[in-house]
Structure 1
Amino acid sequence: MDIKKINLGNQGLVVPAIGLGCMGMTGFEAGNMYGKADEQEAIATIHRSLELGGNFLDTADLYGPFKNEQLIARAIAGKRKDYIIATKFGWEIDDNEKVTWAINGRKEYLKKAVERSLKHLQTDYIDLYYMHRLDKNTPIEETVEAMADLVKEGKVGYLGLSEVSSETIRRAHAVHPITAVQSEYSLFERTVEARGILQTLKELGIGFVAYSPLGRGFLSGQIRQLEDLPEDDFRRAIPRFQEQYFEKNRELVKAIELLAEQKGVTSSQLALAWIISKGILPIPGTKRRRYVEQNIAATHIQLTREDQNKLEAIIPLGTDTGNPYDAFSMGLLD
């Protein structure tokens, strides 16, 4: 069975109903993200995803830095036209390939960033190019104008933003049509809904891409106790995974698992099907073939309005499940 295709926004970009988040496939300068990297299995996962119709890959220059884009280049070699590639810029990376942890949305930096991404991806165009975080010192209009130049030059197909407010979206969209906005979204994390951002996107005809749709693995049910996370796993720094929230969140996951069991699917598949049923594109990250197969199978699960309501009743909008980031990263959200 093929994955159904959806329009991401109304600018003409057609994508499968689920994407593949590639961040966890490579190591990361800031430490261990999601366990050890295994390049062979990661590439096999990208290929398996394509066989099943999953050709939308999400990466960023930050991941590595550059290692993730380079891995994707190796995986898609000779088959570039079969894939839709989304990458991001904005976290400043200096000329020694070190992340400065500043956000840079200035025109000169953007021009440098896109050339680097094209080189690392070994391609001459990027399908969807996102600004990774808002540069609060540069007017969004200036950044989007520079991004629009890349569309005119044929280096970029469509423009995206990540973790931005309704006001920023409106200002950006007035300069050049925005195709997609990417933010964290899951049964655990519905801030974009609470803040009216999803409503804004609907109104403007902009697509929404949900990263960490499984609550950074929490909704998979694999994390039953804090000890299940390696000592150097970055999730240990996130409030949601810390003691004051952990047990409470585990109880919520158990209730979701019960519903999943009744439908004969996994809790991960149910969580993904819930997002897909809302017309949102989830991009669960995995580096293993068996999980990509399970995730893609979730696109065939039909949820009734009653199913949706039951799920949303477990974690009503506004439930405090703990912040999704540490204090520094929370401060960078728009």
Structure 2
Amino acid sequence: MPSSKTATLGFGETTVTIGRIGHGLMNMSTRDPSDVLPDETAFAAIKMGIDALPEGAQMHLNTGEFYGNGFSIANLELVARFFAKYPEYAPRSFLSVKGGMLPNSVKADGSPENLRRSVTTIAATLAPGGKKMDLFQMARVPTNVPFDEAFGTVVALKAEGYFTHIGMSECSAATLRKAHAIHPVSVVEIEVSAWSYEEETKKVIAAAQELGIVIAAYSPLGRGLLSGTIKSVDDIPAGDYRRKLTRFQEEAFAHNAEIAEAFGAVAVRKGVTASQLALAWVLNLGPHMVPIPGTSSASRHLENIAAADVELTGEDLAEISKVLEKGVKGSRIMDGVPAEKLRLWA
């Protein structure tokens, strides 16, 4: 049932149809402890998105073993509570989970012991909700064991029935090809937006399209700046990790805010919201692109999903390119932290 509103994920008998706009769930649990999100607010957003999809399509729900304050399992627990309360939404959801980090940290460990611990922890946490994860992916390419060994462990865990699909995250095009040659990779998750479009991003997108792999594009709204929701540094809560990113600091922020304002002006002329324009730009990169914006607002989620209906003309794309010519200032990672440490494009 491929269309502008859906994408095909997987291979052979495991193929499923998902909506072109997914839902990142991290920010529902990774937030200021004084601003705890009520379950029903989170649940309303998840339900609204699933209900908005074409018949037969599943919502790509994206979570992680460490999506919670202190790298806890809080988000997995929220997902379990959702499916326990609304079991009818389980078959209409495609649940993708990242793991493979050491407990309560973001250090990748690809040892058989840790990967099994991660997968079984995820499975046990989700069990009360009755919804198994559909896809597991190592959140980063580990360095403590050879890649073939780590990926082989993931393949073995899949064979044991813990999940049906294997994904990759923050990997290079070369690593993606290597993994796919060992076992089909259904999804690769990378950051993609109008101003997070690096050379390696382009290579991963091209390789994925060639191999029939879906791109789960995270932070497609530039972490709130492209969508117009962040207009000044003061709009970012104290303690928010974005304050540590060079793109959101002092001179860089002022420069980037000017670009975002011009981007928003294009959206106004197009008759869409800035968020919809940003998502449409990502969708335009190929039929395998599935942005996974994160929101806890039901109305904002519906706005995001409607971006699948936005068609960008050559004139629109030229106008956007002109706006982006100034180039974003600052990095998408924290100041002073080398990309190698975060295992980006490994």
CA contact (8 A) 2:173 2:204 kept: yes
Which runs of structure 2 are paired with 1:140-289 in the superposition (5 Å)? 140-191=147-198, 196-278=203-285, 279=287, 280-289=289-298
Other-structure match for 2:59: 55
* Separation of aligned partners in 1, 2:299 and 2:338: 31
Other-structure match for 2:21: 18
Any idea what the Cα deviations from partners look like across 1:79-103, whole Å, max 9, x if unmatched? 322211000112211xxxxx14421
How many angstroms does 1:33 deviate by?
Answer: 9.5
- The sequence identity of aligned pairs, in percent, is 34
Other-structure match for 1:130: 137
Any idea what the Cα deviations from partners look like across 1:124-165, whole Å, max 9, x if unmatched? 632111110111222221121111112222221111111111
CA contact (8 A) 2:9 2:18 kept: yes
Structure 1-normalised TM-score?
A: 0.90
Structure 2-normalised TM-score?
A: 0.87
Other-structure match for 2:113: 108
* Separation of aligned partners in 2, 1:223 and 1:106: 40
Q: 1:272 to 1:87 in 2, by over 3 A?
A: same
* Separation of aligned partners in 2, 1:236 and 1:275: 25
Q: Unpaired segments of 5 or more residues in structure 1?
A: 94-98
Any idea what the Cα deviations from partners look like across 1:170-217, whole Å, max 9, x if unmatched? 221121111111011101201255662222222322221100000111
SS at match of 1:148: helix
SS at match of 1:115: helix
How many angstroms does 1:5 deviate by?
Answer: 1.6
CA contact (8 A) 1:58 1:283 kept: yes
SS at match of 1:103: coil
Q: 1:230 to 1:136 in 2, by over 3 A?
A: same
How many angstroms does 1:36 deviate by?
Answer: 4.5
How many angstroms does 1:73 deviate by?
Answer: 1.2
Other-structure match for 1:72: 79
Q: 1:10 to 1:119 in 2, by over 3 A?
A: same
Other-structure match for 2:320: 311
Is residue 92 of structure 1 aligned with residue 102 of structure 2? yes
How many angstroms does 1:34 deviate by?
Answer: 11
* Separation of aligned partners in 1, 2:137 and 2:34: 23
SS at match of 1:323: coil
Letter of the 2:330 counterpart: G
Letter of the 2:333 counterpart: Y
RMSD between superposed Cα atoms in Å:
2.2
* Separation of aligned partners in 1, 2:33 and 2:21: 22
Any idea what the Cα deviations from partners look like across 1:17-66, whole Å, max 9, x if unmatched? 110000011136xxx49964332201111111111126221000011211
* Separation of aligned partners in 1, 2:338 and 2:135: 24
